[in-house]
Amino acid sequence: MPSAAHQLRDPVTGPSLSLAPIERHQTRPAAPAEPLRNVLLAALPHEEQVALERSLEWMVLQSDTLLHEPGAPIEHVYFPEGALVAFSLDGYDEPLTVGDDGLVGVSALLSAPCSPGSAVVRIPGPAARIGTDALIRARSELPALHAVLEAHVHDCLLQLARSATCSRFHHTRPRLAALLLRLREQAGTSRLPLTHERLARILGVARRASVTDAMAVFRAQELIEISRGEVVIRDADGLAELACPCHERLPSRVA
Ligand SMILES: [Zn+2]
């Protein structure tokens, strides 16, 4: 269990964080013979994957588990393989989400002494984690890992810049369509167990009703289905026609 998992207070919604233990596995919990889903791990040559494997710990992350808390040291870095983790700087909005496309704890790569914000699991799923010290050591010994991590930090900066532009210039409906497509890609599933309120917090819109209105439009066009606490994407292509371009991946330096 990560050191921060004892915290009960959800930094965004209040005292609702789960104490559900992290389920640990000796190997990847799902289909260990299949290629790695996390793009950073998958980008490494086989020999570096083998070298890193000794330090990786596989687990299933449970919903609402706090992985990093503001002001606390980042003891582990997580590589999601199906889980979706939201990062919040101010304890209100959750503008940054990480799935198969990245890692949780990027500040540790920049020698930050502690986490600047909170990282909470929003969609449960598998992940690999590694001790921060072990990752820093491995980075100095494995040249491809060093390059992949540097490229990822660069990609994060670009994503942040685009996120700022998106929230300033694009309207809620195309932003929501883009967000749903991004989350679908990050979590690797069309079933997103996220409420309207959660989506509004990720979008950073003050009026949850604007998200509800946009969802009603998408549902009327049979692009999505909505059930209690879950959005199911039925027509990603149709959703893409309504989305602002911000869901498309920026050209990444990660091979
Ligand atoms: Zn946008």
CA–CA dist 176, 250 (Å, integer): 18
What was the pLDDT predicted at 94?
A: 80
Q: What is the SS3 assignment for 131?
A: strand
Ligand 1 center to residue 162 CA distance, Å?
A: 8
What percent of the chain lies above the pLDDT cut of 90?
63
Whether the per-residue pLDDT at 253 is higher than 80: the answer is no
Q: Stretch 58-81: mean pLDDT, rounded?
A: 94
Residues bordering ligand 1, an ion, CB closer than 5 Å: 166, 170, 244, 246
Ligand 1 center to residue 56 CA distance, Å?
A: 35
The overall average pLDDT reported for the chain is 86
- For 209, counting Cβ atoms within 10 Å of its Cβ (0-12 exposed, 13-18 middle, 19+ buried), the class is exposed
Ligand 1 center to residue 178 CA distance, Å?
A: 7
Ligand 1 center to residue 167 CA distance, Å?
A: 7
Ligand 1 center to residue 244 CA distance, Å?
A: 5
Ligand 1 center to residue 170 CA distance, Å?
A: 5
Q: How many CB atoms lie within 10 A of CB 112?
A: 13
Ligand 1 center to residue 181 CA distance, Å?
A: 12
Q: Stretch 53-71: mean pLDDT, rounded?
A: 92
Q: Are 36 and 81 in contact (CB under 8 A)?
A: yes
What percent of the chain lies above the pLDDT cut of 70?
84
For 163-214, the pLDDT digits (tens) are 889 988 999 999 999 999 999 999 999 999 999 988 998 888 878 899 999 9
Ligand 1 center to residue 252 CA distance, Å?
A: 18
Ligand 1 center to residue 7 CA distance, Å?
A: 34
Ligand 1 center to residue 217 CA distance, Å?
A: 18
CATH classification for the domain delimited by 170-247, as one of 3.40.225.10, 1.10.10.60, 1.10.10.10, 2.50.20.10: 1.10.10.10
Whether the per-residue pLDDT at 28 is higher than 80: the answer is no
Task: Report the candidate in 221, 245, 243, 223 with the shortest Cα–Cα distance to residue 234.
Answer: 223
Q: List, edge to edge, every strand of the sheet that includes 224-227.
A: 191-192, 230-233, 224-227
| Prediction pTM value | 0.85
Amino acid letter, 118: S
What was the pLDDT predicted at 4?
A: 42
In the chain, where the domains are located: 3-163, 170-247
Ligand 1 center to residue 238 CA distance, Å?
A: 16
* Domain covering 3-163 assigned CATH 3.30.70.100 in the classification: no
Specify the DSSP class assigned to residue 80.
Answer: E
CA–CA dist 26, 205 (Å, integer): 41
Q: What is the SS3 assignment for 60?
A: strand
Ligand 1 center to residue 62 CA distance, Å?
A: 30
CA–CA dist 175, 166 (Å, integer): 7
For 69-79, the pLDDT digits (tens) are 999 999 999 99
**Can you read off the two tokens belonging to residue 81?**
């393989």
Q: Are 36 and 50 in contact (CB under 8 A)?
A: no
Ligand 1 center to residue 85 CA distance, Å?
A: 20
